[in-house]
Amino acid sequence: MTWARPRAWWTRLVLALPFVLIGAADDPAPVPPPRYDAIALWPGGAPGSAARAKEAEIGRDYWVRNVHAPSLLAFPAAPEHNNGAAIVIVPGGGHRLLVWTNEGTRVATALNRYGVSAFVLKYRLAREPGTPYSIEGDAVDDARRAIRWVRANATRYGIDPARVGIMGFSAGGELVSLVADNPAPPPRTRAAYKPDAIDALSARPDFQVLVFPGPLGIPAKAAASAPPAFITAGSLDACCAAPAVTLYEQLRKAGVSAELHMYAEADHAFNLDESNRISILHWPDRLADWLADGGWLEARKHVERGRAPGSTNR
């Protein structure tokens, strides 16, 4: 994500911060910073993680790894701006670490400014040295559980359970495609794990956002039943340009609403790039346009607080 141009929606949040701080310095009773909820996804521990459940996460600067207790960090939209939409954010990092800030928390606070509640996912890492986890099993289980958890707690956050999307970067984009564009696997038999009410809800997102997605899950095996998609990547990206184009073509031919943006002279992870190319700096604006055109940013006064979460989804 870039922060250099004031018209980019990711940038507006950062540019506003100095003014907030200046105002707070003159206020004898400054408003405390917002607090965000950390939510354990698997009460009693994630299936298959018992042997390492007590190990601490390791975090440095922008990244986190050694995740054995998958969780969500909730960034609820302010009540006066809440439009009822929600997005589960899946950071990338090659399944070796999580790019927690630039592909997670900063994205969440930016989405909040559009009235969208955001939930940043810490999932188990299948390529970290010594890991006991798999991508298609454990990491995808965490992503599906995250969507189900948001639906199960829709009333708590003023969310419409039929407007829950998922957004992933790089390796996180692979999890998005595995969840949104491929068939759900049959239930697994997992020792010492008892399914709960959340497991009965739908894990299919209502829309998907893939930002330089990796190749796992593409070509999709269930493109015809996939939700609407926004896809973007750099044309110079040896890893992820081809998967982005391939998925777009599959969805287009299947009649699924999809939008693709490929950026010239952009390589992988251009959200971190100090680029002077206007198109790359403003790609988040294109996402905001797509969300608006799809009706996801419309204020919905008729959010049904008592509705059965996920009732319209598979």
pTM of the model: 0.85
Average pLDDT (159-169) is 97
Q: Check pLDDT > 50 for residue 260.
A: yes
The predicted-structure confidence for 194-231, as pLDDT tens digits, reads as follows 889 999 999 999 999 999 999 999 999 999 999 999 99
User: 70, 53 in Cβ contact below 8 A?
Assistant: no
Query: Which tokens in the block code for residue 6?
Result: 């004031």
**Amino acid 217: pLDDT:** 96
Chain-wide mean pLDDT for the chain?
86
Cα R_g (the chain), whole angstroms: 19
For the chain, which residues make up each domain, given as ranges? 9-17+36-45+55-185+197-293
Query: Averaging pLDDT over each range in 24-38, 241-255, 261-275, which range is the top one?
Result: 241-255
**Amino acid 300: pLDDT:** 64
User: Check: CATH 3.40.50.1820 for 9-17+36-45+55-185+197-293?
Assistant: yes
| One-character DSSP codes across the chain | -----TTSHHHHHHHHHHHHHHHHHT-SSPPPPP--EEEESSTT--TT-GGGTTPPPEEETTEEE---S-EEEEEPPPTTT--S-EEEEE--STTTSEETIIIIIHHHHHHHTTT-EEEEEE---SSSTT----IIIIIHHHHHHHHHHHHHTHHHHT--TT-EEEEEETHHHHHHHHHHSSPPPPPPP-TT----GGGGS----SEEEEES--STT-S-S-GGGPPPEEEEEETT-TTTHHHHHHHHHHHHHTT--EEEEEETT--TTGGG-----HHHHTHHHHHHHHHHHTTTTS--TT--TTS-TTTT--
Q: Check pLDDT > 90 for residue 128.
A: yes
Q: Check pLDDT > 50 for residue 234.
A: yes
